[in-house]
Chains A and B, each alone.
Chain A
Amino acid sequence: MAEVNLKNLTKKYGDVVAVQDMNLKIPHNEFLVLVGPSGCGKSTTLRMIAGLEEISGGEIYIGDELVNNKDPKDRNISMVFQNYALYPHMTVEQNLGFSLKIAKVNPSEIEEKVTEAVAILGLEDLRKRKPSQLSGGQRQRVAMGRAIVRRPDAFLFDEPLSNLDAKLRTQMRTEIKKLHQKLKTTVIYVTHDQVEAMTLADRIIIMREGFIEQIGSPIEVFNNPVNVFVATFIGSPPMNVIECEVVNENNNLFIKIDKDMLMPCPPSKKDKLKKSPKVYVGIRAEDIVPSENSTDAEKKGWNFEKSIDLAEPLGTETQLFFKLNDKDVISRMYNPRVIEVGEKIKFEVDLEKIHLFDHETEKAI
């Protein structure tokens, strides 16, 4: 039961910087997700917290204690690994009780805690099995069980679901969430899957090349991405980002979103756009609404018409692909019907829902 505090945490491999000056306070009981593309430093950060990786600079506190020079065994954390990392020569219950045995907990208490963990994770019938006799999902569950028997100060998860198939992944995701609600412990969870990040996190940290790009609740980072990278990383399908010229016609600012197609600048952003000749326009797929069913009176936003390059029906929705400024753009059509390739469709965009990013810095305007 403790908060985790990182101060100027840095990791270098020779000249390569893996994590740069990371400052982060993770309050007790928070579910924090570190997300980013591979090589962004998220796993390294986790492994530094665990003590499996030496740190090159900065400080790590677990509770009030500085743990920089402490062995993993003295940090009272537990970790779930991507490849489960079960002990193949031990049965499920031996795997679960191993850390307690090492801590010289008396056998009756170990038995009690193992029984409890087995019950939480639904592994009752598998207690005497060895890891090689378990399925992927069961192994993952044992790995989690091994982490929870100890009641550590913090749980560290290193891409725990990436080796499972899609269906099992969704199921285990829910179980992890439930587990966190039940155990009320600090969780630091690393993933490259933004869906996992969105669904599990109290707070998301998006990392790139060793730096934190944005910290916020899932809704915050989804609605207000600070830059193009976050905007395209969070959300599925990724946000459409189109490079556009800014055009001034009769003192009215327009964004040239396609050949011969001018979109009025959102009123709230007019001042900021005046000086920039170019801008990145970000529009989420669900904000480009096919407007064929709505009457003119219902249309609030800006309208345009495009012919469709490709339609991918997904059941609840159909994703429509077309090009704006030679860039593939996706629109989500709910209540889908059969779409012919080349068919012209009218779309509507609520101008206040579009995101604008500076052309130089790629930061949100």
Chain B
Amino acid sequence: MKFKFLKSPIMLIMPAIIAISIVVIIPLIFSFYTSFTSYKLTRPDSLFNFVGLRNYERIFSNSEWWWTYLRTILFLTIALNVELLLGLGIALLINKITWGQRTLRTIMMFPMMFSPILVGFQWKYIFNDNIGLLNNFLYLFGYESAIAWLIDQKLAMGSILAAEIWANTAIFSILLLAGLMGIPKDPIEAARVDGCSSWQVFKHITLPFLMPFIFIALTIRSLDVGRAYDIVHIMTGGGPAMRTELTWTTIARIGYKDANMGMANAMSYLSIILSIAFTYYFFTKLKASRQELGQ
């Protein structure tokens, strides 16, 4: 027979291979290849201009990029920690409520229902130094000099963080609340009888039970925050003087504004390493916390 190979097991996995190729493998290989070219969006012929490791060499000697890289790590760390603490607090409070809990859970999820772009716009106007709600509110309390929230280089990052935290804390709350609801009552009651105060019950019993949920939430959110672009783009556009640029806003600027796609792709691969590192770290922790519980 002519197409003998079609009878082999290869044929059976062919549909999956084709699907994965189209969705993942081909774009991956293509983008990886372009990171070794001087590919510019405006000059398609440059796609075949192979430059070897030049893009990477340039990135490695570009201190501005590394500041952005560090800033992204800092942004991730602060956002995840604050969201975790706030989310945990909210989840613990809601878990105590017996009447109206469902309604509260729904209300809590409102920020997640808005487009990040719109959240960015809204917070941009809250933080606006002239007409913003925040400055007007401060004015009422006698604080008369307008604060340039989005223009001051130190405050701008904090303002973006505030918006990011407002929009996404609910994700932590929901995931942790699910975890809290799944904790068996018995060990908690046993601990109370064993002499634990509320805080000790939380520390010694609730928290270990909650750890897997915390790390799942952190994994999901680290991927989410790690690719932050929209909120920054809307609120500050990366300014002032690129002081609020994160890796992906930089990549977008270089890739689409400067049309330097080869360089942008090289940066993307370095950014992805960051996300992989976070995910790997949290998964290791997740596994350990599950083992701890004997799961």
Contact = CB atoms under 8 A, between A and B. Distances in A.
B187 A86 contact: yes
A194 B212 CA distance: 42
B292 interface: yes
B196 interface: yes
Interface in A76-104: 77-79, 81, 83-89, 98-99, 102-103
Interface in B169-215: 184, 186-187, 189-197, 200, 204-205, 208-209
Interface in A142-176: 146, 150, 156
Interface in A282-301: none
Nearest to B185: A85
Interface string A41-75: 00000000011100000000000000000011101
B192 A73 contact: yes
B194 A98 contact: yes
A80 to B, nearest CB: 9
Contact of B193 (A72, A84, A130): A72
B196 A102 contact: yes
Interface centre among A77, A98, A132 (most CB of B within 10 A): A98
B294 A89 contact: yes
A181 interface: no
A88 B294 CA distance: 6
B208 A73 contact: no
A81 B193 CA distance: 11
Given A50-B193, A52-B189, A83-B186, A89 B200 contact: no
Interface string B113-133: 000000000000000000000
B105 to A, nearest CB: 25
B293 interface: yes
Contacts of A248: none
Interface string B130-155: 00000000000000000000000000
A218 interface: no
A36 interface: no
B224 to A, nearest CB: 29
How big is chain B's contact interface, by range?
A: 20 to 34
Contact of B192 (A71, A132, A146): A71
Contacts of A199: none
Given A130-B294, A133-B294, A87 B191 contact: yes
A79 B200 contact: no
Given A98-B194, A102-B196, A103-B195, A131 B189 contact: no
A88 B187 contact: yes
Contacts of A79: 189-190, 193
Contacts of A84: 186
Contacts of B293: 88-89
Given A87-B187, A89-B293, A133-B294, A102 B193 contact: no
Given A98-B204, A130-B294, A133-B294, A52 B184 contact: no
A239 B292 CA distance: 51
Interface in B80-123: none
Contacts of A51: 192-193
Contact of A85 (B190, B196, B292, B295): B190
A74 to B, nearest CB: 8
A73 B187 contact: no
Contacts of A133: 294
Given A87-B205, A102-B200, A78 B294 contact: no
A85 B195 contact: no
Contact of A52 (B187, B192, B194, B205): B192
